[in-house]
């Protein structure tokens, strides 16, 4: 029966915290050692749970370093998400440009800091990996669920986000950019006035284009999320099948080891009894020869006695 006690859950959390703090190249060895230790204690459920922990990519490991050692700075960066979402929903171009610039600066700074942490840990990160980390941080700013994964310090995958933030409000109107003060232009010859209805039609057309683009991106996002969900489901099934196969293999190996030990013991008994049988055969032959010699002596002694008795 599976053990879901609080103690087991605490043990898994402790093991996970330790594993996601080691270097990526050391993860598999450390995880296998933790699985073996749990099995030795007889906690098969904990061993299976530990075995399901996935090794982080190099970029995910860098994100975990930030969550562990630069949590305050990371929270400061992810705090921009609310402002970006508001600016995106209201189509406030000025605020969006300002926040986007700040985001790019902070993301780049956090990536550089992660590179320094990796250098101190003894596993320097290449520029390509730092760019992947920036993609993870951008995804965390766009998706709250990804932000929580990053904050956990147990991220395993290299994530990216190719969208443009939250969906916009279909009734939102772009906030006009601030206009710098300027002198009134010189009077010009009056020209034909633009019909207000044309301006309104242009605005409606522009908003229709925005809505259509939003719908297209929403459909693309939904399709991508469905594909990811199916891929994750397939991966979970494959992981479960792998765990069952590993357990069956380990049981078979243990049985082979037991049978091999029994066979070796039987062979040792065979060698011992064979030696004892040879010694007994030799002893029996020697005893038979002794009996023959004694019988000959008895016959000769009897003959001499009979010879004397005949003379008497």
On whether residue 256 sits in a domain, the answer given is no
DSSP string, 233-284: HHHHHHHHHHHHHHHHHHHHHHHHHHHHHHHHHHHHHHHHHHHHHHHHHHHH
Measured CA distances, 226 to 162, 188, 223, 233, 241 (Å): 16, 59, 5, 11, 23
Measured CA distances, 189 to 104, 139, 183, 194, 199 (Å): 47, 53, 18, 15, 22
CA geometry: angle 305, 311, 312, nearest 5 deg: 90
On whether residue 104 sits in a domain, the answer given is no
pLDDT, averaged across the chain: 78
Closest CA to 115 of 131, 100, 101: 131
Q: What distance in Å separates the CA atoms of residue 47 and residue 253, rounded to the nearest whole number?
A: 17
Which pLDDT tens digit goes with each residue over 31-84? 999 999 999 999 989 999 999 999 999 999 999 999 999 999 888 888 776 655
On whether residue 57 sits in a domain, the answer given is no
Which pLDDT tens digit goes with each residue over 150-182? 999 999 988 876 554 443 333 333 334 444 444
Query: Residue 250 pLDDT more than 60?
Result: yes
Query: Residue 263 pLDDT more than 80?
Result: yes
How many domains are contained in the chain? 1
On whether residue 18 sits in a domain, the answer given is yes
On whether residue 46 sits in a domain, the answer given is yes
On whether residue 35 sits in a domain, the answer given is yes
Query: Residue 5 pLDDT more than 60?
Result: no
For position 190, what pLDDT does the model report?
A: 47
Q: Which range among 88-92, 137-141, 265-269 shows the weakest confidence by mean pLDDT?
A: 88-92
Cβ 122 vs Cβ 24: under 8 Å: no
On whether residue 83 sits in a domain, the answer given is no
Query: Residue 26 pLDDT more than 70?
Result: yes
- H-state helical runs in the chain: 6-19, 24-40, 44-51, 58-69, 71-78, 80-89, 93-121, 127-142, 144-152, 196-311
Q: What distance in Å separates the CA atoms of residue 184 and residue 166, rounded to the nearest whole number?
A: 40
Cβ 137 vs Cβ 150: under 8 Å: yes
Query: Residue 22 pLDDT more than 80?
Result: yes
Query: Residue 139 pLDDT more than 70?
Result: yes
What sign results for the dihedral spanned by CA atoms 41, 7, 35, 21? negative
On whether residue 26 sits in a domain, the answer given is yes
For position 215, what pLDDT does the model report?
A: 65
For position 164, what pLDDT does the model report?
A: 44
- What percentage of the chain carries pLDDT values higher than 90? 31
Tell me which residue range forms the domain holding 35.
7-51
For position 23, what pLDDT does the model report?
A: 93
For position 216, what pLDDT does the model report?
A: 78
Mean pLDDT (whole number) for 252-272: 89
Q: What is the Cβ-side half-sphere exposure of residue 221, based on CA atoms within 13 angstroms?
A: 16
247: Cα separation from own chain's centroid: 19
């Amino acid at each position: 029966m599976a053990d879901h006690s609080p103690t087991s859950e605490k043990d898994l959390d402790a093991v996970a915290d330790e594993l996601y703090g080691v270097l990526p190249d050391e993860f598999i060895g450390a995880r296998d050692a933790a699985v073996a230790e749990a099995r030795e204690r007889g906690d098969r459920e904990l061993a299976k749970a530990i075995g399901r922990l996935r090794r982080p990519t190099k970029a995910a490991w860098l994100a975990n370093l930030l969550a562990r050692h630069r949590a305050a700075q990371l929270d400061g960066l992810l705090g921009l998400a609310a402002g970006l979402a508001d600016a995106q929903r209201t189509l406030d171009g000025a605020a969006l440009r300002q926040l986007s610039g700040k985001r790019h600066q902070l993301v780049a700074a956090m990536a550089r800091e992660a590179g320094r942490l990796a250098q101190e840990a003894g596993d320097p990160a290449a520029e390509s990996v730092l760019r992947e980390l920036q993609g993870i941080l951008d995804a965390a700013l766009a998706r709250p669920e990804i932000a929580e994964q990053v904050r956990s310090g147990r991220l395993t995958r290299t994530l990216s986000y190719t969208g443009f933030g939250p969906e916009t409000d279909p009734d939102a109107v772009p906030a006009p950019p601030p206009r710098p003060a300027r002198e009134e232009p010189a009077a010009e010859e009056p020209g034909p006035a633009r019909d207000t209805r044309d301006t309104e039609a242009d605005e409606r057309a522009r908003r229709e284009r925005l809505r259509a683009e939003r719908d297209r991106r929403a459909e693309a996002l939904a399709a991508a999320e469905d594909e990811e969900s199916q891929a994750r489901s397939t991966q979970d099934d494959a992981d479960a099948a792998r765990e069952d196969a590993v357990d069956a293999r380990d049981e078979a190996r243990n049985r082979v080891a037991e049978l091999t030990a029994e066979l070796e013991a039987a062979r040792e008994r065979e060698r011992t009894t064979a030696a004892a049988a040879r010694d007994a055969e030799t002893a029996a032959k020697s005893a038979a020869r002794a009996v023959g010699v004694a019988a000959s002596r008895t016959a000769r002694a009897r003959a001499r006695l009979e010879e004397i008795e005949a003379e008497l």
